[in-house]
Amino acid sequence: MEFHPFPPRLPEGESWQRNLGRLTWVERGLQLTLALIAGIPISISVVIATVFLYETVLFFQTVPLWNFLSDTRWTPLFPSQNFGILVLASATLMVTGIASLFAIPIGLLIAIYLAEYASDRLRLTVKPLLEALSGIPTVVYGYFALLVVTPLLQELIPGLARFNALSAGLVTGVAIVPIISSLSEDAIKSVPHSLREAGYTLGLTKEEVLTQIVLPMAFPGIIASFMLAASRALGETMISAIAAGQNPQLTLNPLVPVATMTAFIIQVSLGTVAFNSLAFQTIFTVGMVLFLITLGLNSFGYWLVRRHQSAMTEAIVPTVPAEEGSNFYPLYDEELPLSNPRFGGRQTPSTAEFKTPFIRRQVLDRCFSVLSAIAIPITLGIVALLLLDASRRGLPLLTWQFLTSFPSRNPQEAGIYPALMGSLWLLGLTAFFALPIGLGTAIYLEEYCANTVLNRFLEINIANLTAVPSILYGLLGLELFVRLLAPVTGGPSLLSAALTLTVIILPMFIVTTRSALRSIPDGLHQAGYAMGMTRAQVLWHIVLPAAFPATLTGALLALTRAIGETAPLIAVGALSFVSFAPPLSGEGIYSRFTALPFQIFNWILRPQTAFHNNAAAAILVLVSILLILNICGVLIREKCKI
């Protein structure tokens, strides 16, 4: 980054005053523009609530609320219509419960090991691998659940159906492990180090310090990670739609096919649904229920995180008060017994009696560290199994013909060219819309609106938008960008899909960009102001260049999420069979489309093994694109550091 030692000489007299006035108007114009851009996230929240509430009110004008809450059957697409949301809710909660039972102990043990036991080198190696798991498209996890996990479980559990809640729940648990491990690790690390030292001073082992001091102090933050992970599991769409089935039944048996709320939305979206029909209103009503549940969990989790951060900021090591009128603070209370019942119960234990419990405690400490370490290879091993199976099936099919051919009913002739071009189109259009809006919002919140009530409101709003299930954004895109923009776009198109993906990744990009701007030392701002620069000039010449590496990394990570989304594309009308590629011209944005994740989804649901092999080959292509984007982000971040 290049700095000039002296600012440019300012004009004198009236010329200087005119220049100062021009700069003032530029500042005001820039601030107004950024404020308008920052209003977009608020508008998104308002539009989501308005659209879902409007369609839900229309639904309850036809279906009584009591029937919706108490009916034990769900058959809205049959002549004898029943609308018992309890059927879908029970399946959703069962899958979420299985996922949580798997992910909570694994994720927490990983967090403990990385925070307390792992070396810096091991942590720097393992943590990016775990974070990469959250970037794997959920359609890939759905492939893994249906074609790898279910056959393995069928060998162990007699009577397990091909579609079942158990496989969907376990693989959903694998997908949410990084959320728990990352947030729990942050909570554990936030506990003041002085509390650990106090425990060691008392003779506690590391395991005892963790279980009796660190984990109780970090408990609110850990619970918040559980809440946010459960919210992600509740909104998971593709794993449930692929592996759990689409058979709505009220049951607590995880071995049979069920239909979750998100799977029902996908089922209806795959067909032809007329606007303003009861089926159209039904999917929005189910989406409204899902939105309220996830909003409650996200808000509670966010409140816990903020509360935990405040508590850790104010945490101090308690001291023993001195006697009145004395400046001496004793290290222990002489009235207390010198021994503790947990260490033998006697005041004067012999050497052998003291050594035996100490050795036992050391063994327990070593066992705890080994148990924590085992959780990491379990998680990485599951993902390695996924990639090995996809490579075994798909590598022989990765030919130039496969990349340049159109879909076909004959699996040996089918290719991914339209899907690949559709994904690249969506990647470019989403970047075109999302990056300026996200950057402008982040600049306004961090530089012009810091430490205000509006900033805190927007921060909570963006945090909630980050955790909204992507299928709900798909319904928003169906109503807003497909239905209302139909006179312009002609219906479902690349433009409507790109706008939907833009809404999905905006919160994530805003959060990462704000973090990048916040990391710039305040001394650089002050140096710019000392040189006579305005706020806009400081932003343009100092802050943005310094934050560029981290900002670009955040942009690439957000785009990797966009290119891996499947459920929103289904909702906004992606085609299952496309015999053309979008033209490379301005008319291409109005073209019908498909994408790699949706093509993979279609092939997975086919009964022929050859199509499953095609899906594996397409997964390798999709994962390769995501890997390239991630590597580019890391390289840019490392090469452009100042």
Residue appearing with tokens 């009308």 = 573
Q: Output phi, psi for 237, to 5 deg.
A: -110, -60
CATH classification (class only), 62-315+357-395 = mainly alpha
Residue 429 has pLDDT above 90, yes or no: yes
Q: Where are the alpha helices (DSSP H) in 328-452?
A: 351-394, 400-404, 417-443
Quick one: average pLDDT of 283-291? Answer: 89
Of the candidates 113, 93, 82, the residue with the CA atom closest to the CA atom of residue 188: 113
State the distance between the two ends of the chain, measured CA to CA, in whole angstroms: 7
Share of the chain above pLDDT 70, in %: 85
Residue 274 CB neighbour total at 10 angstroms: 8
Least confident interval from 56-65, 351-360, 572-581: 351-360
Q: Residue 584 pLDDT more than 90?
A: no
For residue 9, what pLDDT is reported?
A: 47
Give which of 260, 303, 298 is closest to 99, Cα–Cα: 260
Alpha-carbon distances, residue 454 vs 157, 302, 464, 561 (angstroms)? 54, 17, 15, 28
Instruction: Compute the mean pLDDT over every residue in the chain, rounded to the nearest whole number.
Output: 81
597 touches 569 (CB < 8 A) = yes
Per-residue confidence band for 83, with pLDDT thresholds at 50, 70 and 90: confident
Q: Are 100 and 173 in contact (CB under 8 A)?
A: yes
Q: Taking residues 399-405, what's their average pLDDT?
A: 90
* Confidence at 635, pLDDT banded by 50, 70, 90: low
Higher pLDDT, residue 289 or 134: 289
pLDDT at position 393 over 50? yes
| Range of 145-154, 362-371, 487-496 with top mean pLDDT | 145-154
> In the prediction, which pLDDT does 133 show?
77
Strand partners, 74: 83
Q: What is the pLDDT of residues 326-357, one digit of tens each?
A: 444 444 444 434 344 443 444 445 555 445 57
For range 453-479, the mean pLDDT: 79
CA distance 181 to 588: 42
d(CA 401, CA 416): 9
Reference 135, options 419, 383, 400, 497; nearest CA is 383
Q: What pLDDT shows up at residue 100? A: 93
Out of 33-42, 151-160, 326-335, 596-605, pick the least confident: 326-335
Helices 278-314, 215-235: inter-axial angle, 10-degree rounding:
170
Percent of the chain at pLDDT > 90 equals 22
Report the pLDDT value the prediction gives residue 330, as an integer from 0 to 100: 45
The per-residue pLDDT for 612 is 92
pLDDT in tens, 511-546: 888 888 888 888 887 888 788 777 778 888 888 888
Tokens 């060219």 correspond to: 417
Model confidence pLDDT, tens digit, residues 193-207: 888 888 888 878 787
Which amino acid type is present at position 522? D
State the pLDDT at residue 174: 92
State the pLDDT at residue 338. 39
When comparing pLDDT for 584 and 179, which is higher?
A: 179
* 0.75 exceeded by pTM: yes
In this prediction, residue 105 carries a pLDDT of 92
In this structure, the number of other CB atoms found within 10 A of the CB of residue 451 comes to 6
User: How far is it, in rounded angstroms, from Cα 469 to Cα 283?
Assistant: 14
Lowest mean pLDDT segment, chosen from 123-132, 145-154, 232-241: 123-132
pLDDT for res 339 = 41
Q: Which amino acid is at 550?
A: A
Mean pLDDT of the 479-502 span? 85
- Find the angle CA(547)-CA(550)-CA(551) to the nearest 5 degrees: 75
